[in-house]
Copies of this chain bind each other. A is one copy, B any other.
Amino acid sequence: MAGNTFGTLFRITTFGESHGPLIGVVIDGCYSGVPLDLDLIRTQLSRRRPGQSAITTQRMEDDEPEIVSGVINGITTGTPLTIIIRNKDQRPVDYDVLRDAYRPSHADYTYEKKYCIRDHRGSGRASARETAARVAAGAVAMQMLKVVNISVNAYVSRVGNVSIPENTSIDTTQTYNNILRCPHEATALLMQRKIEETAQTGDTLGGIISCIISGVPAGLGEPVFDKFHAQLGKAMLSINAVKGFEIGSGFFGSSQTGSQQNDVFETDKNGKVFTTTNNSGGVQGGITNGMDITFNVAFKPVSTLMKSQQSINTQKQKVIIQPGGRHDVCVVPRATPIVEAMAAITTLDFLMIANAAKLH
């Protein structure tokens, strides 16, 4: 654990800060010989990007991925694939007001306690800007997974207290039809209204992203400590603002009985084994069972408010944090590609580990 690297065989190391010249990612363990689809990387980056719509910040980053290594004539070479994204939008924001203050529920105080020094310009390494590098790497992982028919689809299932109604059947092809990234159109409208109302008060919202990984073969995951959902949970909890993770029926399931929760095995007419319910979320005993992997990720509300807040500064004096700049009321819709990225990276890593264990 040294912070910037994730994964064992398919392994990413992200680098850079929002206030340097660039950010990027080194991707170890790419399959060789795969045509790299830069447009998919661009698409995923654009979905994460601030300033995409009325409900997000106006800052335009225009994240263009540049391949630095690992590709020849558009084909992966198997050696590490490095992608950089230049930081173009470095407007001279007045960060001096933040030099001494500890913004509530930000990483200001904790980074200073950890390092005794802090980069107050845009949060340094704690900035959500880092997640763009994850999204680029995730888009690469998604391409590798596509070859073996595994797909990853995240969507917003709750904003504030507005949720998709229970037992609604979800069609993830509809997710990107609206800016809320909510495949249920009626709920998306309610979410948008909730965000607009909250914006009026200068306040912010959190929410939940749900995700489905389809096509995962049975048998992925390692016993004991490296269970599939343990590593997946770590992947999700490492995303900025995430405070909770659950697989399958999760917290709700823990209030039910065994007979309500147990997933009954059956065989379809082609002899394929399936379970009649999927409360397990596709993982049993830490190993995938061939059903969809389903999980939820809880994001806390944005800590930066558009109204003043009380806090203290480095001299332990009381200060008032004044709102400045323009910030998202709710970042959850922009986080769907991040969830997809971390899910794809985790799944591909487990797939490679499983392949390693086969006698060839």
Contact = CB atoms under 8 A, between A and B. Distances in A.
27 contacts: A4-B13, A4-B80, A4-B225, A5-B225, A9-B357, A20-B82, A29-B356, A69-B124, A77-B119, A77-B124, A78-B357, A104-B262, A111-B287, A126-B286, A160-B257, A201-B257, A233-B233, A243-B247, A243-B253, A243-B254, A244-B250, A245-B246, A248-B300, A251-B298, A261-B300, A262-B305, A355-B355
Given A28-B3, A32-B117, A223 B79 contact: yes
Contact of A353 (B78, B256, B260, B356): B356
Interface stretch (A55-63, A165-173, A183-191, A306-314): A306-314
Interface in A89-132: 102, 104-107, 109-111, 113-119, 121, 123-126, 130
A224 B257 contact: no
Contact of A234 (B234, B289, B312): B234
Nearest to A198: B257
B290 A3 contact: no
Interface centre among A161, A204, A255, by most chain B C-beta atoms within 10 angstroms, is: A255
A105 B311 contact: no
A26 interface: yes
A46 interface: no
B243 A225 contact: no
A51 interface: no
Given A11-B2, A78-B115, A255 B158 contact: yes
Contacts of A243: 229, 246-251, 253-254, 281
Interface string A34-58: 1000000000000000000000000
Interface size range of chain A in the complex? 35 or more
Interface string A273-293: 101000111011111111000
Nearest to A317: B267
* This chain: copies in complex: 4
B234 A231 contact: yes
Contact of A352 (B125, B201, B349, B356): B356
Contacts of A233: 233-234, 237, 245
Contact of A310 (B237, B257, B261, B264): B264
Interface in A189-224: 198, 201, 203-208, 217-224
Given A111-B223, A161-B255, 8 more contacts: A4-B28, A16-B69, A104-B262, A110-B219, A207-B255, A238-B286, A251-B251, A251-B296
A227 B219 contact: no
Given A16-B82, A224-B238, A237-B229, A298 B253 contact: yes
Contacts of A111: 79, 223, 285, 287
Nearest to A240: B285
Contacts of A220: 114
Contact of A109 (B9, B107, B218): B218
Contact of A17 (B33, B34, B69, B203): B69
Interface centre among A8, A14, A118, A254, by most chain B C-beta atoms within 10 angstroms, is: A254
A279 B243 CA distance: 10
A106 B2 contact: no
Contacts of A358: 31, 355, 360
A176 interface: no
